Amino acid sequence: MPSTNTLLKHKKFSDTPIPWLLPLFIILAFMFVYPTMQVIIYGFTNAKITSPNYSFTLRTYKSILSNPSTYYTLWITIIFVFFSVLFQTLLGLAIALAVDKGESLLFKRGSIFVRISSLLSWAIPGVIVGVVWGFIYSETGTGILINLFKSLNIENIKFLTDPKNALVSVIVANIWRGSAQSMILSYAGLKTVGKAQIEASNIDGANAWQRLSKIILPDIFPVISTNIILNTIMTFNTFDMVWSLTGGGPGRATEVLAMTSYKAIFNNYSISKGSTYATLLLLINSIMAVIYFNILRKREED
Number of domains in the chain: 1
Domain that holds residue 226: 68-301
Report how far residue 11's alpha carbon sits from residue 15's, in angstroms, rounded to the nearest whole number: 7
Report how far residue 262's alpha carbon sits from residue 272's, in angstroms, rounded to the nearest whole number: 12
On whether residue 181 sits in a domain, the answer given is yes
On whether residue 270 sits in a domain, the answer given is yes
Span 133-177, pLDDT tens digits: 998 998 877 778 888 888 888 877 888 888 889 999 999 999 998
On whether residue 52 sits in a domain, the answer given is no
Report how far residue 5's alpha carbon sits from residue 2's, in angstroms, rounded to the nearest whole number: 8
What is the average pLDDT score of the chain? 85
Q: What is the DSSP letter of 213?
A: I
On whether residue 89 sits in a domain, the answer given is yes
Is the separation of the CB atoms in 223 and 188 below 8 Å? Answer: yes
Confidence of residue 6 (pLDDT cuts 50, 70, 90): low
Strand partners, 270: 48
On whether residue 8 sits in a domain, the answer given is no
Query: Is the omega angle on the peptide bond into residue 17 within 30 degrees of 0, that is, cis?
Result: no
Task: Please report the pLDDT score of residue 23 as a whole number.
Answer: 86
Enumerate long-range contacts of 203-211, CB under 8 Å, 24 or more apart. none
Residues, the chain, total? 302
On whether residue 23 sits in a domain, the answer given is no
Report how far residue 238's alpha carbon sits from residue 56's, in angstroms, rounded to the nearest whole number: 30
Number of neighbours of residue 186 by Cβ within 10 angstroms: 26
Higher pLDDT, 172 or 8: 172
**Average of pLDDT values for 68-92?**
93
On whether residue 248 sits in a domain, the answer given is yes
Confidence of residue 82 (pLDDT cuts 50, 70, 90): very high
Span 206-242, pLDDT tens digits: 787 888 888 888 888 888 888 898 899 899 999 999 9
Is the separation of the CB atoms in 121 and 182 below 8 Å? Answer: no
The enclosing domain of 286 has a CATH number of 1.10.3720.10
pTM, rounded to two decimals = 0.86
On whether residue 57 sits in a domain, the answer given is no
